[in-house]
Structure 1
Amino acid sequence: MKVDTWFSDDPAADLAGNYGRGQFLEATWAVLRQAQSIKSSTVFGLVGPWGSGKSSMLQWLQRKAEAESDLPWNFVRFNPWDFQDDASLQTGFIAELSGAFESSPLKKAREALSAFARSVAPLTSIAGFLGVDPSHAVEGFAKLLDGDRSVARARAALEAALEEAEVPTLVVIDDLDRVSADELLLTLKLVRQIGRLPHVHYLLSYDEQTLIDVLSHTSLVGRSSASRARDYLEKVVQARFDVPALRPIDVRALVNLELAELSTSGTIRISEADAARFSSAFFAFLAARLSTPRAINRYFAQVRMVSPGMLGEVDNVDYLVLSWLRTAEPGAYALIQRHRDELVGAPYFGGSRTDDAESKARVAKWRSRLIEGGTRDSEVEGVASAIGFLFPRFSYLWSSSTSDSEPAKPLRLAHESYFDRYFSFGLPPEDIADAVVERALSDLAAGEAGSSAVTLVELAAISNADAVLEKVARGLERESRSSRELFDWLANLWSSMPAKADAIRPGARLESALSARLRTLDESLVTVYLQSLAAHVSLLLNTLDTALRPQRGSEFRLLESQTRMVRDVVRQELLREGSSPSAIRSELRPAVWAWSRLDPSGFSDWFEAQRIEHGDLNALGFFVQSYVTLGAKRAPYLSYLDFEEASKFFELDELRRTYSAEILTSPELSSDRFEGPPDTPQNRVDVALASLRIEPNPDSP
């Protein structure tokens, strides 16, 4: 398919014989050639569904007819769409025939046609056609008083003139299935009762099912009488040419050709992974609906609407599937936007999604929505499969399954941060292109901290912090270079993110990316990293803690000098904090725990000094576990004493004996560990004492 005509639905004769249809056209032409020598009028039917290429085939046949020099066809095209009412339709039909009879052999036939037209056409309309003043047309009324005898004489004269000329005429009527019921019935009557003339043949192009449906709504056939409509059609059409359906191999060839053009033009670049996912979608639900040249053409015309700036900013396969829904199922396309909250995000795993009454009701609701939106009942499953392909949450609802283990990964339509891109055909105002983020990281890695890309990312982070930080984390995985400027900027960006009590934080995503980067750095860059993050202790310790965990095939260790550097950084932070072990703020406490794991001796020295300065009970309070309720606005609360960690620094039985009075008078702990007291220094001490009272002494009989 030519790139410069992808937007057009015009016939294309050059393509008509492609994809297994060349032999069909040659066979059709051979039959039409035989009709040239036949005097009696024949009506042929070129039958095929909408979009199957009938108009292109008619154009091919016309070229073939014009190229035959030994006995050329007198080729006439008549389109019922060109006329607004029955009178003009009848007049137009005769006018087209008259225009075909302009050559010298048919001059006599043209005059006879005019006489015949006056006997059968409405007086006023035919008068205008013949150039006669309508006010004088009534003068010819007396000539019609003889009724059929007058019409018969005029028709006989016309037939005699055509027999004498012996010029084969082929009248082609395209798009017959697109006119109204009355217009269709009139056209068929004109062909069957008026147009059946010697050496005048007809080629009607139509979708049979549509024609039968339309005829079933006429008074002649009767409502919903499909069999009678078919019988009537068979009386009109003597020979039919059924357009071969595109074979599956032809459909695949056309689609592959279009995809190749998309890649070549740079509209969408299809990777091997994309090709595998698109193939899955194609065989699951696309192939059944991309069965005609027009369907394929219309589909890829929509695909090409993507903005050049969106290249690499959306998932290619999701965009291809959504474009099909926009083309073939606009109602479903609108439903996706209207019900985004039900679709975006991870599926609700756990329990059956189709057996329980609630899930069945939701499936039934979506089925009703699709049908009300214009989806045929027979197409609901295919459309649902397409929506499920895009949204794993919907797939799990509809069929209790999902093929994607990471349903909300970036660039996908199901990801909240990328959903709007697909429907705005560009980046929403508050969004930022992933390419800009990657360019900013590249500039920073090269030491250019003040580039325009860096500034754009910083501005975007003000209004869309979560999305930007996630994109930065992903971009960091692709940018292999490192620099002090990069580490400084990442640390400042991380610290500027608002704190949220969420299980999945963009900040955690960046920490993971930085931990992975740490494991690849040489010794000098590790030192640069530690220096850059010295002012951001939580980020520094969290990333170090993850990087130092054993991983198969690789090992990361700090030099002794680097461990001392970390120790100094933490001690300075705790000194600035000025807090006792039970009073360390909740944001810093996880970092101190991380320090205890990566520098046990340094943590032990600090803790013993704190124990001496603030006492056993305050120091013991450090080991009380704290929690936050996800999504809740309440402050962190306390749960219980971590006996395993506390026993590394205390003899717990000795504490029970020493502080027995305090233990007996300590407040009762809630039986529900998720409803503990707020995280305060005194509550930490109270929970530690109460835990010692409840926890049994392992040495007691």
Structure 2
Amino acid sequence: MDEIHKDFTYSSDKALSHFKDDSFSRAPFAKRIAEQIESFVNADSMVFGINGKWGEGKTSVLNFIEKYFEERNSSDILTIKFNPWLFSNEEEMLTNFFYLLADSLNKKLETKKELTGSLLDDYVKPIMGIASMFPGVPDIGNQLSSFFVKANINELKERIEKILLEEKKRIVLFIDDIDRLDKEEIYNIFRIVKLTADINYITYILSFDNDLVASALKDKYGSDNKQAGYEFLEKIVQVPLPLPKIEFSELRSFTMKQVEDVLYKAEITLTSQEVQEFITYFQGLEPFLDTPRSSILFSNIIHFSLPMLKNEVNIVDLLLVEGFKAFVPNLYKLIRNNKNLFLDNANKKYNEEEKKNELDKKKRIIEETIELYSENEQRGLIYIINHLFPAVEPAFEKFSIFRGDSLQWKKEQRVCSELYFNRYFLYTVSSSDIADVRVKGFISNLRNEDVDISAEEFASLIESSNDKLILNKIKNFIDTINSSQKKVLCKVLANTGHLMSNPNTFLGLDNPLRTTASTMVELIRTIENDEEKNELSQDIIIESSSPILATEYFRSLNIAGIREANDASDNVIDISALGALLSNQLVTELRTMLESDPKKISSSIDFPSLIYICKEYGQKSEPDSIIEEIIDEDKLYAIVLIESFLSTVYGNPSVTKGNVDKEVYKKIKSNVDINLIKSAIDDIYPIEDVDSMSFPENDNSRYSTVAQFLWQYEQDVE
């Protein structure tokens, strides 16, 4: 966990300064403004107004304009940034405005005319009070006193114009974040601009939210009509330029890329089904995704939570809960502080009236929390709430029937599980070590008559730590486990196989599911009685809650060198009989999933292993029949089938799928009806004009996989 945190980088939401970082076409917009300014031939002053909401990129545009002049090395353009936040009143702003111009020109704006004492009070005293704000300018207090005692504003303006004319320079003056000032300061800024806008050779670029500034200005006029504020702006800003609208598709892609980066850095891999689930339900939050800043806020929040809760919660649920935190904080607080409201099942009430009252209460409280949002936004939020909390769904869906499955929610580490809910809000669960005494206590309680209880306890161990750590601890204590306990432990591991993570790691190293299989093989090898070995192996195959675990156990038996019954050995397993049993189990499990939940097939079945085991040990025609049924159910499984035969390429920094090369194609063809796959692809993913002379490049996309398969198919046909 610490290693992961070292690589993490939070986004500071800092405005962009380099064109290469531009994701929303702000750079071309800024370049056009800069080109317009550069093309000015007359001496007239000009005021540009960059208008946009907070977080839309106004400051980035200003930075890009400045960058453009810098890269062009425009000798006749002098850029200056004026920060009104440093000054507390109009006098300080005005005097420092002129000092900034003079200092930037590196000239002293002094005349020989002495000013009256009142001018000293108006300008010198405010300047002396803020001298410390310019630590880089030596003795600024004395300089400014001298400067402003000897000149009045009109003469200063004339002197500045003369210098600019003599130097053949145009000043581009940036004033940013005007809408973040208070109402009085906003008014002062625009008064200063109005007062100084007649100075030749100066171009002002102001950035602000038009609506916020207009509202502040109308209050200054004592008017309830915001139009008065807009009219004031129109008198000052000569070139109003609203920021180009960010296409939602761009903002959405930007957000998904942020999420992808966080998942990658946290070393979290979502299955295709999980990705689709996240995308589907995140649509309910998309109306709140209005600026790049909102996307970055969400990214920073999950940067914190995902590494801490990795392997301990359902990642899709966590992303959605954290979405509430980022975009709808009042709803997030309601959920966090009202666990029972979202988890309690109204069906537990004794009568229909109590049930109805409970559901009405849920609905009323939630609707009151989100009532300020639009109807469309409310629909999206309720859509997500119903998914995350099935106990709430009957309150909003008239014909919905609450079907609670606490065991399944527990297996999936869902936020709607009583066991997992608090983890989503407390961030206290970590991958820290677990006391040896707890692991030893679990082992000492292993009894044949209590397999289910031991399985629950083992699941609890995993929940309080992590599967990899617990497995390693158990392996450390194998020598202390008696024969009876070993048998129970094998059954416990088989029964809890669905809890084991199965990451795609190099050579399967540090893969908890494979470690579980090898641990069971290690336990089997220490049992002396051959008949008990065979019986226990059969129990493991039959009781395994994960088809992949059962398959991996069978494979591990072969790798471990446990031999056939006709070999003289102390380690005797009837591999043929076990393979036939596994073949039957896999086919039965597959047909069950096909009928009940086809979406689980791709993540629950290793197709190449299934085909091999069935053809080697079971009914050879069975794989063809069931694969045809699967593809008839969903043509996309034809592509999933191809992908299952691809090798995994481990590179830096990414893990990619290998090519559909000639050997891979032959392997697919030897195991599957190749024409069945081709026909399915033609129906759902037609790719025309495959270049017969050139093997398609692998860009790690499904498109390139299909294109490579079709290329091999065409070569084969020819």
TM-score (norm 1): 0.57
Supply the distance in 2 between the matched residues of 1:176 and 1:75 (Cα, whole angstroms): 18
Inter-CA distance 356–427: structure 2 relative to 1 (3 Å threshold): closer
1:62-461 equivalent positions in 2, closer than 5 A? 62-102=66-106, 107=107, 121-122=122-123, 124-126=125-127, 131=141, 152=154, 155-218=157-220, 220=221, 222-283=222-283, 285-306=284-305, 308=307, 310-344=309-343, 359=359, 362-370=362-370, 379-400=377-398, 408=406, 409-410=409-410, 411-427=413-429, 432-434=461-463, 436=465, 438-439=467-468, 440=470, 448=478
Supply the distance in 2 between the matched residues of 1:404 and 1:249 (Cα, whole angstroms): 36
Inter-CA distance 377–288: structure 2 relative to 1 (3 Å threshold): closer
Supply the distance in 1 between the matched residues of 2:82 and 2:522 (Cα, whole angstroms): 77
- Letter of the 1:297 counterpart: I
Q: Deviations over 1:463-488 (max 9, x none)?
A: xxxxx9999574389655747969x9
Per-residue deviation at 1:64? 1.0
Inter-CA distance 110–420: structure 2 relative to 1 (3 Å threshold): farther
Q: Residue 391 of structure 2 contacts residue 402 of structure 2 at CA under 8 Å; is this kept in 1?
A: no
Per-residue deviation at 1:262? 2.6
- Letter of the 1:293 counterpart: P
Supply the distance in 2 between the matched residues of 1:181 and 1:520 (Cα, whole angstroms): 70
- Residue 39 of structure 2: which of 27, 34, 43 is its match? 34
Q: Deviations over 1:357-415 (max 9, x none)?
A: 875564333232346xx978985444444433422323432344779977751311111
SS of the residue 2:304 aligns to: coil
Supply the distance in 2 between the matched residues of 1:92 and 1:254 (Cα, whole angstroms): 40
1:7-22 equivalent positions in 2, closer than 5 A? 7-14=11-18, 15=20, 17-22=22-27
Inter-CA distance 80–68: structure 2 relative to 1 (3 Å threshold): same
- Residue 53 of structure 1: which of 33, 54, 57 is its match? 57
Per-residue deviation at 1:341? 0.6
Per-residue deviation at 1:258? 2.0
Point out where structure 2 has 5 or more consecutive residues left out of the alignment: 1-6, 132-139, 439-459, 502-512, 527-538, 558-580, 590-718
Inter-CA distance 67–134: structure 2 relative to 1 (3 Å threshold): closer
Supply the distance in 2 between the matched residues of 1:470 and 1:341 (Cα, whole angstroms): 34
- Letter of the 2:340 counterpart: D
Inter-CA distance 552–520: structure 2 relative to 1 (3 Å threshold): closer
Supply the distance in 2 between the matched residues of 1:407 and 1:29 (Cα, whole angstroms): 62
Inter-CA distance 344–64: structure 2 relative to 1 (3 Å threshold): same
The residue aligned with 1:573 is none
- Residue 29 of structure 2: which of 21, 24, 33 is its match? 24
- Residue 475 of structure 1: which of 499, 503, 511 is its match? 499
Inter-CA distance 95–160: structure 2 relative to 1 (3 Å threshold): closer
Per-residue deviation at 1:209? 2.2
Q: Residue 390 of structure 2 contacts residue 404 of structure 2 at CA under 8 Å; is this kept in 1?
A: no
- Letter of the 2:64 counterpart: W
> Could you say which structure has the larger radius of gyration?
1
Supply the distance in 2 between the matched residues of 1:212 and 1:352 (Cα, whole angstroms): 55
Supply the distance in 2 between the matched residues of 1:188 and 1:328 (Cα, whole angstroms): 33
Q: Deviations over 1:491-549 (max 9, x none)?
A: xxxxxxxxxxxxxxxxxxx99994869997999x9xxxxxxxxxxxxxxxxxxxxx9xx
Supply the distance in 2 between the matched residues of 1:158 and 1:202 (Cα, whole angstroms): 15
Q: Residue 41 of structure 1 contacts residue 197 of structure 1 at CA under 8 Å; is this kept in 2?
A: yes
- Letter of the 1:393 counterpart: A
SS of the residue 1:288 aligns to: helix
Q: Residue 313 of structure 2 contacts residue 420 of structure 2 at CA under 8 Å; is this kept in 1?
A: yes
Inter-CA distance 168–476: structure 2 relative to 1 (3 Å threshold): closer
SS of the residue 2:288 aligns to: coil
Q: Residue 19 of structure 1 contacts residue 250 of structure 1 at CA under 8 Å; is this kept in 2?
A: yes
Inter-CA distance 266–185: structure 2 relative to 1 (3 Å threshold): same
Inter-CA distance 402–369: structure 2 relative to 1 (3 Å threshold): same
Supply the distance in 2 between the matched residues of 1:224 and 1:262 (Cα, whole angstroms): 46
Inter-CA distance 310–114: structure 2 relative to 1 (3 Å threshold): farther
1:560-575 equivalent positions in 2, closer than 5 A? none
Inter-CA distance 407–201: structure 2 relative to 1 (3 Å threshold): farther
Q: Residue 313 of structure 2 contacts residue 414 of structure 2 at CA under 8 Å; is this kept in 1?
A: yes
Q: Residue 495 of structure 2 contacts residue 545 of structure 2 at CA under 8 Å; is this kept in 1?
A: no
Per-residue deviation at 1:193? 1.2
The residue aligned with 1:505 is none
SS of the residue 1:217 aligns to: helix
Inter-CA distance 326–470: structure 2 relative to 1 (3 Å threshold): farther
Inter-CA distance 133–434: structure 2 relative to 1 (3 Å threshold): closer
Inter-CA distance 432–401: structure 2 relative to 1 (3 Å threshold): farther
Q: Residue 102 of structure 2 contacts residue 108 of structure 2 at CA under 8 Å; is this kept in 1?
A: no
Supply the distance in 2 between the matched residues of 1:41 and 1:407 (Cα, whole angstroms): 71
The residue aligned with 2:637 is none
Per-residue deviation at 1:115? 7.9
Per-residue deviation at 1:81? 1.9
- Letter of the 2:194 counterpart: R
Inter-CA distance 6–70: structure 2 relative to 1 (3 Å threshold): same
Supply the distance in 2 between the matched residues of 1:340 and 1:33 (Cα, whole angstroms): 61
Point out where structure 1 has 5 or more consecutive residues left out of the alignment: 145-149, 459-467, 489-509, 526-546, 556-701
Tell me the matched-pair count. Answer: 475
SS of the residue 2:173 aligns to: strand
Per-residue deviation at 1:347? 7.3
SS of the residue 2:60 aligns to: helix
Per-residue deviation at 1:287? 2.4
Q: Deviations over 1:118-166 (max 9, x none)?
A: 59954522566774599999x97xx99xxxxx75555445444444443
- Letter of the 1:73 counterpart: I
Inter-CA distance 67–471: structure 2 relative to 1 (3 Å threshold): farther
TM-score (norm 2): 0.55
Inter-CA distance 405–247: structure 2 relative to 1 (3 Å threshold): farther
Supply the distance in 2 between the matched residues of 1:5 and 1:274 (Cα, whole angstroms): 25
How large is the Cα RMSD of the aligned pairs?
5.1
Per-residue deviation at 1:228? 1.1
Q: Residue 437 of structure 1 contacts residue 471 of structure 1 at CA under 8 Å; is this kept in 2?
A: no
Supply the distance in 2 between the matched residues of 1:113 and 1:168 (Cα, whole angstroms): 27
Q: Residue 325 of structure 1 contacts residue 333 of structure 1 at CA under 8 Å; is this kept in 2?
A: yes
1:554-565 equivalent positions in 2, closer than 5 A? none
1:494-643 equivalent positions in 2, closer than 5 A? 514=543
